[in-house]
Amino acid sequence: MNTIGTSTLSGVNRIKFLQSTMQEILKKSMIAEAVCSVDRSDSKYIVNPYGSEPTALVQAVAGTYSVSAFTTTDDNLTVTDEFTYGEHIFGFEEVFSRFDLYAARVEQMSYAVSYALDKWVLNELLEGGTGTYTTPVGGFTTAGNFLTIMGALLSRVAGFSETWKGLYLIVENTDLAGIIPAMASNGFTMADTVLKNGWVGHYMGVDIYVVRTGTFVDEAATTVSGSKTWTNLGRRVFGVKGTSMYASPRSIVVEEKGVTGKTGKEVNVWGLCGFATWANRATMTIDILLG
């Protein structure tokens, strides 16, 4: 039971602190923020129509041309899922009576929401990609495979104009058993950097992000995946940044309220989320199957 001091932090300031802390954590810790476009407007339905690809005609000089018809395809993102977390802090616990305890609680809640949201978006990202690649046997954990894998992945997106936005690769922590030795044994400057400093998150022009084992999973409409179904176990994802979007209307909302019949306060965190890989750019997201 926490019976520590008297707080001078008002409820309004607590909410402002929680809200700002949560937004900072979401933006800094989420890989989804780095590899996807983000929409935080109040829109539940986001449209991205696109026209058919024009093909230029090359002909001998004649001064004439043909008028072509074109079609427009509707593409959209619909917000379908929500993320929630709540706690009731009884008055006798007096968690809110000391700022450092409150700050620690805020961070734990923020990271819990951040982790769940990131896992959801990254699995949706992998599901949405139509590009495919199967690694050599041993996948990323075999050091000798790494350069071959990187070359194959880069070839999948080479030539697309969108690559100026940047490239990404998302792996799980167990994959580093092969990736780090490969980095440390190829080249000179890069190898020395890895040998001196350890993990390097940028290699061959690609930003490499690491998530914990169990991020890419098979799920069917559960508390992990919400309304979505995933078949991502044993897979990783590579692609061009900004070719997918996730929507988080108003981002994460924090509420503090009194509850009838209970002392203290109830704090709940909630947010809405939707995701789409735009159909005309889906080939720029590569579904990697580990060999």
CATH (domain of 21): 3.90.1690
Inside any domain, residue 3: no
Q: How confident is the model at residue 150 (pLDDT cuts 50, 70, 90)?
A: very high
Q: pTM value?
A: 0.81
Per-residue pLDDT at 240? 96
Inside any domain, residue 5: no
Inside any domain, residue 2: no
Q: How confident is the model at residue 93 (pLDDT cuts 50, 70, 90)?
A: low
For the chain, the distance separating the N- and C-terminal CA atoms, rounded to the nearest angstrom, is 52
Please say whether the beta carbons of 83 and 117 come within 8 A. Answer: yes
Q: How confident is the model at residue 2 (pLDDT cuts 50, 70, 90)?
A: very low
Q: Residue 79: which domain range?
A: 11-289
Q: How far apart are CA 291 and CA 289, in angstroms?
A: 6
- Cβ atoms within 10 Å, residue 156: 19
Locus of tokens 């129509």: 49
Cα–Cα nearest to 246, from 39, 44, 29, 24 = 39
Inside any domain, residue 157: yes
Compute the average pLDDT of residues 152-179.
95
Q: Is the pLDDT of residue 9 over 70?
A: no
Cα–Cα nearest to 281, from 170, 105, 182, 160 = 160
Query: Who wins on pLDDT, 116 or 102?
Result: 116
Inside any domain, residue 126: yes
What letter does residue 161 receive in the DSSP assignment?
G
176: which 2 tokens? 């580093």
Number of folded domains that form the chain: 1
Q: What's the sign of the alpha-carbon dihedral 207, 32, 118, 289?
A: negative
Query: Who wins on pLDDT, 215 or 50?
Result: 215
Q: How confident is the model at residue 43 (pLDDT cuts 50, 70, 90)?
A: confident
Inside any domain, residue 4: no
Inside any domain, residue 227: yes
What is the longest distance spanned by two Cα atoms in the chain?
A: 89
Inside any domain, residue 261: yes
Per-residue pLDDT at 33? 85
Compute the average pLDDT of residues 157-179.
94
Query: Who wins on pLDDT, 222 or 179?
Result: 179
Q: How far apart are CA 166 and CA 163, in angstroms?
A: 5
Rg (CA), the chain: 24
